[in-house]
Chain A
Amino acid sequence: MSPSTNEPDLRPLADIDQVIHNPTRLMLLSYLYVVERADYVFLKNMSELSWGNLATHLNKLEESGYVEIEKSFKGKKPHSSVNLTPQGREAFRAYKKRMQQVLDDLPD
C-alpha cells in the first residue's frame, strides 16, 4: 500500500548509499567535496582520526570508486593524497539530495 500524499514517504531511505551514510566517511567526503585534493596529514588534522581509522575509511571509499588515492614519497617519507572521483562527487550530491528530500518531508 502506498502512503497517502500527506504522509512522509520514507521509502527512499532504504536506497541511501550505505558507504556514504557512515558518519566518518560522510565527514571525509564532505571535506573532499570542497577541495580538489588533500593529503592524509591534512585530512587527519581536519577529521582528528587516527592513521589507522583514516586509512580504513579511505580504503573503503576507494574500493567503492568514490576516491582516488595517490601514494608517493616525499624524500624518504610516504606521502598520500586523495581526491574525489567524478563518480564519488555525483554519489555525494545524490546522497545529499535524497537526505534533504526525506528530512524536509518529516514533520517538526
Chain B
Amino acid sequence: MSTPISLRETERKVFRAATNDGLTDVLLGCFFLMFVIAPFLSEYWGDFWSAAAFLPFYGLIWLGIHLARKHIIRPRIGSAEFGPSRKARLKSFTVVMLVLNVMAFVLGIFAFLNFADMPLSTYPIVLGVMLLTGFSLGGYFLDWPRLYLYGLLTAIAPLIGEWLWNEGLASHHGYPVVFGVTSGIMILTGLFIFARLLLAHPLPAEEA
C-alpha cells in the first residue's frame, strides 16, 4: 500500500532525519544524572556546590556531542537548514522553555529559602508537573514522540522516590534510584539510536 504524499509530513520526516541522532537523549540523560549523584555530594559540599559541580561535566558532555555531530554524524547523514515555519516553531519552543526554566528557578529559590511555607510534599508534585510540561512541549514542538514518554518518566520519578523514601526503601528521597533508572533509560535509548544510525549510514563515498 502506498503512503499518501504530504508536504507537512515530508517536512517532519526531514527534520527528524536531520536531528534524531540519539545524542540529545544522551545529553538529557546526563543532565538527570545530577539528581542521582548530587544528593550524595551534598552531604559533603552542600546543596549549591554539589549541583554546581556538574556544570563542567555538562560542558564536557556538550562539547563531546558537538564534536560527534560535526565529525561523525554530519559526514554520514549530511545537513539541512530548515525553512521559516520550522524556525518559527523552534523559536516558540525556546521562548516557552525559557519561561518554564525561569518558573523552575523561582520555585527552586522558594524551596531553598522556604518562603512560601509550603509543605515539603508539594515540591515533588510541582517538579513532576514542570518536567512533564517541559518534555511534552518538547515532544510537540520538536516532533519527537519519545519526549512524551520521558516526560511521564521524569514526572512520576519524584513521586515514586518520595514513596520509596517514606517506606524506608531508599535514601535521599529516592532520587538516586528513580532518576538513575530514568537517566539510564534516556542514555541507553540515545546510544541505541546513535549506534543504529552509524550502522545504517556508513561514511559515503565522495561526491561525484
Q: Which residues does A use to contact B, with CB under 8 Å?
A: 30-31, 33-46, 51-52, 54-55, 77-80
B79 A34 Cβ-Cβ under 8 A: no
Bound form: Cα–Cα A42–B201 in Å: 11
Residue on B with the closest CB to A43?
B78
Give B67-85 interface residues, CB cut-off 8 Å to A: 74-84
Q: Cβ of B7 and Cβ of A33 under 8 Å apart?
A: yes
Instruction: Give Cα A53–Cα B19 distance, bound, in whole angstroms.
Output: 26
B14 at the interface (CB under 8 A from A): yes
Known pairs A34-B11, A55-B208; A45 contacts B79 (CB<8 A) = no
Is there contact, CB below 8 Å, between A42 and B11?
Answer: no
Mark contacts of B81-95 with chain A using CB atoms, 8 A cut-off: 1 yes-contact digit, 0 otherwise: 111100000000000
Q: Which of A39, A44, A51, A79 is within 8 Å of B80, CB to CB?
A: A39
Structural contact, A30 and B7, CB atoms closer than 8 A:
yes
Minimum C-beta distance from B141 to chain A (A) = 17
A-B contact sample (10 more), CB < 8 A, given A41-B77, A45-B77, A78-B207: A30-B7, A31-B10, A35-B14, A35-B80, A38-B80, A38-B81, A42-B79, A43-B78, A46-B13, A54-B208
Expressed in whole angstroms, the Cα–Cα distance for A55 and B207 within the complex equals 9
Q: Is the CB of A35 within 8 A of B83?
A: yes
> Is B43's CB within 8 Å of the partner chain A?
no
Please determine whether A37 and B208 come into contact, CB atoms closer than 8 angstroms.
no
Given the contacts A31-B10, A34-B14, A44 and B79 also touching, CB distance less than 8 Å: no
Q: Select one of B5, B78, B82 contacting A41, CB under 8 A.
A: B78
Q: Separation in Å of the B199 CB from the closest CB of chain A?
A: 14
Does B100 belong to the interface (CB within 8 Å)? no
Interface flags for B9-21 (1: CB within 8 Å of A; 0: not) read 0110110011000
Q: Contact: B75 with A41, CB < 8 Å?
A: yes
Find out whether the CB atom of B207 lies under 8 angstroms from the CB atom of A45. no
From A30, A39, A52, A77, give the contact of B79 (CB < 8 A). A39
Check if A77 sits within 8 Å of B80, measured CB to CB: no
Give a binary string over B178-208; 1 marks a CB under 8 Å from any A CB, 0 the rest: 0000000000000000000000010011111
B208 engages A42 (CB within 8 Å): no
Query: Nearest residue in A to B201 (C-beta to C-beta)?
Result: A45
CB neighbours (8 Å) of B5 from chain A are 30
Determine the distance from Cα of A76 to Cα of B18 in the docked complex, in whole angstroms. 24
Q: For the complex, give the distance between the alpha carbons of A55 and B208 in Å.
A: 7
Once the chains bind, are A45 and B78 in contact (CB under 8 Å)? yes
| A42 cross-chain contacts in B, Cβ below 8 A | 17-18, 77-80
